A and B are shown apart, each in its own frame.
Chain A
Amino acid sequence: MSRPQAVTRRSAKSEYIETDTGNKISRRARIEGKQNIMLAGKSVVMAGAILRGDLHRKIDRPAEGEKGGPITAINIGRASVISTDCTIRPPMRMSRGLMTFYPMRIGDNVFIGSGTHVSALSISSHVHIGANCVLSAFCIIKESCKILPDTVVPPHMVIPPGSVVGGRPARVVGEVGEGWGQGGGGEGEEYVEGGDLRALVRSIK
């Protein structure tokens, strides 16, 4: 008797694993500590991206009642896109005599270009980060910013909302206009920086 064929698969294994909240995670993404990573929904993690959820704050009190559950190391909002070969690593610093990692928060509709290293403390919503940038530890990026490619943001820098930032070390080189982010988001339309990324997420297969 010939062995029945393996369950008929669709043509090839798809690149992305899709969760029930609509997140698309590439099979080639490198995720450590996935139980400490929260993806809000409809976000994309592309191939080669490294997410260090294993670097989190350690709490000493085990059964105090308050924080018994998992600690989130990385919080990513809705419709955010993490492109290929990025590294997302929570920042670390000395606090009360011990080196601790701080939880990192990434907002909604954030586009992180390929090859970028992100160690920021928080990135607010509607931010567009170019390719090959370096966001060093504890920098804070406020809403609606645009970070040009190849920028190096030094540690602890706070980038005010609505700025265009570039260079090494990063300097504010301009402001995004008032129409930043408008005009995109519809089906089949061109992707607009800072705009609604849901259409982009939907088109990624």
Chain B
Amino acid sequence: MASRPAPAPKRPSQLPASKPPCTIHPSAIIADKAQITGSHTVEIGENAVIHPWARIRAEGGKVVIGKNSMVYEGATVGTVDGEDVLIGDSVNIETGAVVEARSVGDGSTVEVNAVVGKGAVLGKWCRVAPLECVEAGEQLEDFTVVYGDGRRRVDKTTKEHAEIRELKRAGQEKAVQAMRTLIPNAMAKWAG
């Protein structure tokens, strides 16, 4: 390592950051251009998909990503100086979202460019609409939808109908299957 020249500052995506100790399930798909940095552990569950240019920062605490979850491009998961981040199963963290929550419950979706503050706790099947903000430390009950201008409501349809939850879960599995065929897996690069 001593002979490696200093990394060029102009290309952040190729900066050789510290590779954290990762526990990656063999069926997870991690794109080559994904960025996993930090010193705490990163656990990636079964069938999870990490898209190119997704960033997982395990600098403040460990990051756990549940099974069938997807972290899309440009999304940032993990804190720099906070605590652990636990992402549940079948969770979608969409493009550009910044998730520093303490935990995101199963089935939740954090949509494009949303921001979830440090230490927030999202229940199961929650949904944060695009460009929305969940404040630090805020707790969202199960089935909460955060939408337009900071309003909150409860997603009764998903709450009351178990078959909708099943369909969503099956849909997420199908989406993960589709990604599996399209994104070449570079898991070996990150495997512990």
Interface residues of A (CB under 8 A from B): 28, 30, 32, 50, 52, 54-56, 58, 87, 89, 92, 94, 97-101, 115, 117, 132, 134, 136, 150, 152, 167-169
Question: CB < 8 Å: which of A54, A101, A117, A168 contacts B95?
Answer: A117
Which chain B residue shows the least CB distance to A58? B181
Residue B113 lies at the interface, judged by CB distance under 8 Å to chain A: yes
Query: Given the complex, which residues of A lie within 8 Å of B13, measured CB to CB?
Result: 30
A167 to B112, CA, bound (A): 15
- Residue pair B33, A168 in contact (C-beta under 8 Å): no
CA distance A58 to B179 in the complex (A): 11
In contact, A152 and B95 (Cβ under 8 angstroms): no
Would you call A117 and B113 a contact (CB within 8 A)?
yes
Expressed in whole angstroms, the Cα–Cα distance for A50 and B147 within the complex equals 25
Determine if A87 and B52 form an interchain contact, defined as CB atoms under 8 angstroms apart.
no
Name 28 A/B residue pairs within 8 A (Cβ), A-sorted: A30-B13, A32-B33, A32-B52, A50-B95, A54-B182, A54-B183, A55-B182, A56-B182, A58-B178, A87-B74, A87-B95, A87-B96, A89-B73, A92-B175, A92-B178, A94-B174, A98-B174, A98-B177, A98-B178, A99-B178, A100-B178, A101-B182, A115-B113, A134-B130, A152-B130, A168-B129, A168-B147, A168-B149
Q: Are A134 and B113 in contact (CB under 8 A)?
A: yes
CA distance A28 to B131 in the complex (A): 25
Cα A92 to Cα B174 in complex, Å, equals 11
CB of B148 within 8 A of chain A?
yes
Instruction: List B contacts of A30 (CB < 8 A).
Output: 13, 33, 52-53, 73
Residue pair B171, A58 in contact (C-beta under 8 Å) = no
Contact (Cβ within 8 A) A117 B112: yes
Q: Ordered nearest first, which 8 A-B pairs have the shortest CB separation?
A: A99-B178, A134-B130, A99-B174, A168-B148, A117-B112, A99-B175, A152-B130, A134-B112
Q: How far apart sit A169 and B179, CA to CA, in the bound complex (Å)?
A: 28
A101 contact from B131, B147, B178, Cβ within 8 A = B178
**B-chain residues with CB within 8 Å of residue A89 when the two chains form the complex:** 72-73, 95
Question: Residues 111-128 of chain B: 1 if any A CB is under 8 Å from the residue's CB, otherwise 0?
Answer: 111000000000000000
Chain A residues lying within 8 Å of B175, measured Cβ to Cβ, are: 92, 99
8 Å CB contacts to A: which residues of B42-63? 52-53
Contact B73–A52 (Cβ < 8 Å) = yes
Say whether A87 contacts B183, CB under 8 Å. no
- What is the CA–CA distance of A134 and B110 in the complex, to the nearest angstrom? 14
